[in-house]
Structure 1
Amino acid sequence: MTIAIFSVGIEDLAKELTTRPVGAQARAQLLALLDEHDGIDIDFHNRSLTPSFADECIGQLAAQLGLEDFKQRVKLRNLSASSRPLVKHVILTRCAAAMPH
């Protein structure tokens, strides 16, 4: 069985990586890609993300998929050094909030 991984550059999803509305729009596009493919590989080209964009796009995506599914199906490449801890934080925070209490 082959696994279809779709590679996409972040600039194809959003020109500016700054606001929640842009992050939500990018997340919607990523969800559509995940409907068509087993996994996605997102290249950030070392661009910096704002906390708002990271939370809305990546954090909410992880919460919708669930942490395990997110880890298996979504690969984040070339995150800038400053964005790595931010992205990890929003993923863990959103996934913890999404878990049933």
Structure 2
Amino acid sequence: MMMISSFRIDIDEVASELTTRPVGAEARSILLGLLDEYESIEIDFHNKSLTPSFADECIGQLAAHVGLSDFKNRVKLVNLQESSRPLVKHVILTRCSAVTH
């Protein structure tokens, strides 16, 4: 039986700032590594605002890589700024629908 383990990480630990694609790509790479190690991860955004570029590269691409249902089951985004929620939802759905077509 597989151990159910969850890992909580602060977004600060994987991204120096939440603005650019290169930083988003680097953060995504670290998060993918954590998903290889843990059953699920919880990413704490501390209510910081993120740009569309960062959100797409980090979260959208992460969701596309693991697949929408796996992403929903295994990745928890906490303390996401209220104003960033529609953006995050948009990049996840856009990336995941792009994969299936």
Give me the TM-score of the superposition, normalised by structure 1.
0.96
Count of aligned positions: 100
Counterpart residue type for residue 18 of structure 2? L
Amino acid corresponding to residue 75 of structure 1 in structure 2 = K
Cα deviation code 1:10-56 (max 9, x no counterpart):
00001110000000000000000001000000000000000000000
> Please, which runs of 5 or more residues in structure 1 have no aligned partner?
none
**Structure 2 unmatched ranges of 5 or more:** none
Percentage identity across paired residues of the two chains: 71
TM-score norm. by structure 2 comes to: 0.96
How far apart are the structure 1 equivalents of 2:35 and 2:87? 23
- Paired amino acid for 1:9: D
* Stretches of 4+ aligned residues off by more than 6 angstroms: none
Return the letter of the residue paired with 2:38.
Answer: H
Aligned to 1:89: 90
- What is the CA distance between 1:68 and its match in structure 2? 0.2
